[in-house]
Structure formats: C-alpha cells, structure tokens
Amino acid sequence: MHRLFRFIMADKASYVYNEARRIYPDLAKHVRRTPLEASSFLGENVYLKLESEQITGSFKLRGACNKIFKVINEDPKAKEKGFTTASSGNHAKGCCMALKKIGAKGIIYVASTALKSKVDALKSYGVEVRLHGDDCMEAEVQARTDAQKLGMIYISPYNDIDVICGQATIGLEIYDTLPEVDAVFVPVGGGGLIAGIAAYLKQAKPSIKIIGCQPAASCVMYESIKAGKIIDIPSYDTLSDATAGGIEEGAVTFDFCRSLVDEWVMVSEKEISDAVYLILEKHHKLIEGAAGVSVASFLKTAQAYEGKNVVIISCGANIGMDQLKKIINDHT
C-alpha cells in the first residue's frame, strides 16, 4: 500500500479516535453503554458486544445522534429545514429518535424490500416514510436528490465522518472494558460500523485484528476491496438485510476498510440462520441477521483464534417475525 495513503489514513483514524473520546460524554447521555458479555458457548475468552440491546435495537443510534446533534449545534436553521435519510430501518430508527429529541421533522427513504416490521416501526415515530428502489443504495440516491430539491439535510447511514465517529464509541467501550482484546468480528454493509470501530481500536492498540464479516449473498464491500475500487455487483436476498445492497460511489468508508480491516469472512444463509438460533437458544438473546453474520464468521474461523480474546459485534436485534419463525422452525 502506498506510503502516502497509509499516512493519510493514519491521520483520519487518529481524528476518529480523538473525536470519539471528545463526544462520548455527551453522546452517553442519549445512548446505552451496551454489555460486553462473555460467551462460554462460543468459546473461552469470547465476548459479545451487545449493541442488539441498544435503545433502538441497533448500534445505528450512536452515529445518527452524533451527526444530527452536531448539525443542529452548527446550523441554527437546521431544525426548520428538516432532515432526510435512507436506511433498511436501523439507521432510520436512530435518526427518528434523535429528531424526536430535538423536535425536528424528517423524511425516511426505505428500500421496497425492507421488512414490514421495520417500516411500521418507523411510521410509529410520526415521520414520513417513502419506499424507493430495490436496495439501500437506490434509496440513498433518492434521499440525497430530494434533500437537494427540498432544501433539507441528508444524513448518510455510513458515508459521513461524523456518523463514523459516533460508531467509533463502540470501540471506546470495548477497549475501556477489555483492553486485552486481540480480535474483533464486525458485520459490514456500507462500512460505517467497522470504519469507526477499526479506527478507534487500531489507534488504541495497533495489534488488534479487525475481521470484516459479510453474507456471501451480498458482499459488495469485500468484492470492492479485492477490485481496489467500489464496484457495482448484484446483491441477493439475505437474512442480513441490514448489511445488504451496494455502496455509494466515493464512500469514505472504503478507504477505512481497505487500510484497517485485516481479514474478511463470507458466510452462507444457513450459517447465518444457525448463528441467530444459537444465540437465541444458548444465550436467550434475540439478534438480527446482520448480527448473525459476525457470530457465524467467528464460528467459521474459531480455530484460528484459540487462546485469543475475541469480541463479536452483535449489531442489532431488529429481526422480522416471519424471519424469526422460519429460523426457529428450521431448527426444531
């Protein structure tokens, strides 16, 4: 990797690290410090970071709150302008909660393939929900376009340094609780979560291994990293709907992933289903498909991490009832 690129990315990672530490005291007033729970069922010295127990059922609340509160602080007219965003549901829920706290309006763009349970949950916040496109990237493009037309402020689910800094506070909590951590398994869609966690932890302890985890049915980031640029490839139906879809052209997360992620693991739909069921059966915890991706990725490579202190990011718990019923039926 080119020396100049390494220098630039080290500087960006340093910024994320310092910003996460700066914003955390205020952000902690609005988000839950989630448990880091040991898992004897997954292995000795293996821990689940339960963002699935975040207030909105997903880590996305952190980035949404950080971005929206920052915009409001910097632009007094932002509340009147209103906000738009695009999401499979989790980022949108985070934005809805942040907007409710400050009394601002918003329009949420959701792919037509999103789970009905997530769409209904968004509508319960009193915001306008618009269905557009077949995946998250198409919804993102429309949300940006309409924001420009309507004079509103677009909040990206991942392609924004302030959102990344919000997600980086997960890394802060992990290192604060378990400084001896050796490896972290992180589910990846657009890359905001892994960019923040990797930037923070690599600054705190460079030897930590960051493992990117994706469903084989929708692994755009992994294929883009292999290609050396963001590429447009098909995504297929997956239990991990929260990570499914393409990546916005020019996304800042791409370079974070290219420079800070040490390994990649792809998992099948059966492996994701097995992981969701395992956590439900053994831990009595409900997790969504995207969280199942990181659990499944660890199980697939567990032998390589024997004797290591491993953290698995359980990123959310917003799974549809139909999905959950099918997973349970398939395992009973």
Nearest to 315 by CA among 219, 217, 240, 203: 240
Beta pairing class for 83-86 and 209-215: unpaired
Q: Which two tokens stand for residue 160?
A: 């924004």
Instruction: Tell me the pLDDT tens digit for each residue of 5-55.
Output: 676 788 999 999 999 999 999 999 999 999 999 999 999 999 999 999 999
Distance CA 20, CA 66 (A): 10
pTM above 0.85, yes or no: yes
Give the residue ranges of DSSP H helices in 205-283.
220-227, 253-260, 269-278
39 neighbors 276 (Cβ within 8 angstroms): no
Structure tokens at 328: 């349970």
268-302: string of b/e by CB count within 10 Å (b at 16+)?
A: ebebbbbbbbbbbeebebbbbbbbbbbbbbbbbbe
Rounded to whole angstroms, the Cα distance separating 318 from 52 reads 8
Report pLDDT digits (tens) over 75-117. 989 999 999 998 867 898 999 999 999 989 899 998 887 777 7
Residue 326 to residue 331: CA distance in whole angstroms: 9
CA distance 240 to 251: 21
For residue 284, give Cα distances in angstroms to 39, 138, 263, 273, 281: 12, 36, 29, 15, 6
* Position 1 confidence tier, pLDDT thresholds 50, 70, 90: low
- Summarize pLDDT for 288-322 with one digit per residue, the tens: 999 999 999 999 999 999 999 999 999 999 998 88
| Sequence-ordered list of residues with C-beta below 8 angstroms from that of 246, at least 6 positions apart, any chain | 135, 136, 137, 220, 232, 233, 235
